[in-house]
Amino acid sequence: MVRSFKNPKKAKRKNKGAKKGEGSSSSSSDTVPSLPAKVWQPGVDKLEEGEELQCDASAYNSLHAFHIGWPCLSFDVLRDSLGLVRTEFPHTVYCVAGTQAEKSSWNLIGIFKLSNISGKRRELVPDKTGDENSDMGSDSDSDEEGEEAGSGTPVLHLRKVFHEGCVNRIRAMTQNPHIVASWGDTGHVQVWDFSSHLNALAESESDLSHGASAVSNQAPLVKFGGHKDEGYAIDWCPLVPGRLVSGDCKNCIHLWEPTSGTTWNIDANPFIGHTASVEDLQWSPTEPSVFASCSVDGTIGIWDIRLGKSPATTIKAHKADVNVISWNRLASCMLASGCDDGTFSIRDLRLLKEGDAVVAHFEYHKHPITSIEWSPHEASTMAVSSSDNQLTIWDLSLERDEEEEAEFKAKMKEQVNAPTDLPPQLLFVHQGQKDLKELHWHSQIPGMVVSTAADGFNILMPSNIENAIPANNAS
């Protein structure tokens, strides 16, 4: 149930795009450590006096940090018309985010475009021809690779819309991404039309700060005050354009049915089945009348809007608050859930009638799970963020192969200083952000993850996610 930032402060103005490693390192020094580099595990390893963390830039195809002013608890990546599967740098990304400012009247929704996102395409294992020189000091070689795939600083174009109170959560409609719903700490759910801002962003190419200073006082399409408390749970149906559910911190879930492209009929009688706050909501990717909810009461509910106001199924999911859920859109029988105790689980909904539907349970994180999301491109891959300041990426199809590990070490011609007790399904660990709150995969750029934290946003593309590398990458 960990949500709000402690004493949010406005980010200091700096370059919008991170230098290599920025946003994933606590070090400002460029000195090469005298001891061999090793993987640092938060909660396990301790930093001794004089030691410092340094980002291994070779672990990323792309890594950039930026901010829009105040910290953002929530954001969403917007679908765009730039291509359904994009693999070539530089990239362009459209997002919408809601702030948590120091004063309520300072809050806003930021609609922004980040363009010229540079990166590099790497082989998963280095070529034999450059092995001798590919040690920790070979940063110049990496830079040259990056030049070929876009260079320079990412460019941020930002539009601002005033929002009454902090934005607890914000979501864009899948089918019409200019339609956006926001949950405010004032207790209101609002729906907005940001088409004019997105059109302006699409046309802006040169002025770095175009629209960044002005905050428009746009009126929402709908402002719903029927919830009895503020909330965080909200989701658009991927199968019925405009269908929406919103859940609050009491235990109520309201259904929104579209009556036109800009109007809704909101059911005043809530769905009630939880005994505490509804933390997250997810529509089924295959059944337009079915959605899932999770709650502080430790349960997950599966609902069918055709069957009344009570859940069709209630699952005792975790021993503590269930903070977040994610329904796998490529394997619709799989539902993931993240808990306040740091654990997360995956359930096969086909096994519910048999009792225990848990097919995987992980206890890697030691602090609350704040976000969880299945990859839109790989059915077995998911990303998780936690209050332990880690963003982790998992592939549930992986198993440990000792022979393959030995071959890899031999090919690398060096000691691979990776911890031996990590789960074999753990693909990647990203660190450096403080108080991570939410992450999303980009549905049109395979391998790209965007995350928000107290100190701003990161855009990252790990180099060991194979589908981030184009299939026709010939040597």
Residue 467: HSE in the Cβ half-sphere, 13 Å Cα cutoff: 20
pLDDT value of residue 22: 35
The pair of three-digit structure tokens given for residue 25, joined into one six-digit string: 């390192």
pLDDT value of residue 176: 98
Cα–Cα–Cα angle for 256, 260, 266, nearest 5°?
Answer: 20
Q: What is the pLDDT of residues 377-386, one digit of tens each?
A: 999 999 999 9
Q: Across the beta sheet with 167-172, what order do the strands follow?
A: 167-172, 179-184, 189-193, 222-224
pLDDT, mean over the chain: 85
pLDDT value of residue 58: 87
**Residue 229 phi, psi dihedral angles, 5° rounding:** -160, 170
Q: What integer is the mean pLDDT of 192-201?
A: 97
pLDDT > 70? residue 276: yes
Alpha-carbon dihedral sign for residues 91, 97, 102, 105: positive
Residue type, 149: A
pLDDT band for position 405 (50/70/90)? low
Q: What is the pLDDT of residues 283-293, one digit of tens each?
A: 999 999 999 99
Q: What is the pLDDT of residues 214-245, one digit of tens each?
A: 899 999 999 999 999 999 999 999 999 999 99
* Residues 6 or more apart whose Cβ sits within 8 Å of residue 94: 77, 78, 80, 111, 112, 113, 177, 198, 201
- 303 - beta bridge partners? 291
pLDDT value of residue 137: 31
Q: 41 vs 84, which has greater pLDDT?
A: 84
